[in-house]
A and B are shown apart, each in its own frame.
Chain A
């Protein structure tokens, strides 16, 4: 509990420094050190249960980390991307994204990833840092794969049910879905053939 509260204050201070325009470049080097982001290792549920931390503090703790990472990625990426530990930082953020306990937190993390890929696209378009972009490319494939697993009902149905606006009790949907299936069957069949050719 004390550890969590103390870390929360530290994170608030860091967020303040990162959002300030006058913060010197050297600060970001220190910020990306392993120690700063050690809380990212500790966000898992077993950790929370072990410490028996207050639910409210734990949620604020998570929000603060996500906010800090978002500020770093959206506003300071040029300053931190050449640091050797950026890959480690991103792998921790990847873990944080997919360990989020609620959808709001997950959405905030997605917004940060969106900023990150937009930044990479800008770099690629300006063809300034091709080596840098290609070094990140390999980590984008696992990211895309996990994103897909998260949005497909076949993999993540129980969690996605929380967001779904259709209720399963609505039996009238059966005939609706049935008609849609036959209507689109011939269309999809044509696409299946094309897609298999296309992806090979």
Chain B
């Protein structure tokens, strides 16, 4: 069953995507800053994971930050996957879009 959170993300994504079509893709740049912020946190976490063979999470606050990061990344991937239709040609979209959505589903 679809949760309230999914409903909010889904509806927001639909409006975002429709706006992207209407504004000739100016909305893509809105994703740059959150994506770069997420990916740099993600890179440092992946480095820590590799060197420690795990993530040394000692508090609820750290766990919460990790959850926030993965959820946001999933949302960004979902939006990028759907925006890719407007930016790429058909065959490339079909393969890469499904990989992205697949990753977004794992995180949700």
Please list the residues of chain A having a beta carbon within 8 angstroms of any beta carbon in chain B.
103, 106-107, 110-111, 113-114, 117-118, 120-121, 124, 133, 136-137, 140-141, 143-145, 147-148, 150-154, 157, 160, 163-166, 168-169, 171, 173-175, 177-178, 180-182, 184-185, 187-189, 191-192, 195-196, 198-199
Are B107 and A137 in touch, CB under 8 angstroms?
A: no
Q: Residue B35 contacts which of A117, A184, A195 (CB distance < 8 angstroms)?
A: A195
Q: What would 5 A/B residue contacts be, using CB atoms closer than 8 Å? A: A137-B24, A151-B9, A151-B75, A152-B34, A191-B100
Establish whether residues A107 and B7, one from each chain, have CB atoms under 8 Å apart when the complex forms.
yes
Residues of B74-94 whose CB lies within 8 A of A: 75, 80, 87
Closest 6 CB pairs of A and B: A153-B68, A163-B5, A117-B18, A185-B46, A140-B19, A110-B11
Query: How many interface residues does B have (CB within 8 Å)?
Result: 59
**Smallest CB separation, A159 vs chain B (Å):** 10
Q: Which residues of B contact A147 (CB under 8 A)?
A: 12, 15-16
Residues B67 and A185 in contact, CB atoms below 8 Å apart? no
How long is the Cα–Cα vector from A129 to B4 in the complex, in angstroms? Answer: 36
Would B26 and A154 count as touching, CB distance under 8 A? Answer: no
Given the known inter-chain contacts A163-B8, A174-B57, please indicate yes or no for A168 contacting B63, CB distance below 8 A: yes
A contact residues around B31 at 8 Å (CB): 148, 199
B87 touches A177 (CB 8 A): no
Question: Given A141-B27, A182-B46, A182-B49, is A148 in contact with B22 using a C-beta cutoff of 8 Å?
Answer: no
B8:A113 contact, CB within 8 angstroms: no
Report the Cα distance A151→B49, complex, angstroms: 27
CB distance from B90 to the nearest CB of A (A): 16
| A144 touching B19, Cβ below 8 Å | yes
Q: Is B20 an interface residue (CB 8 A)?
A: yes
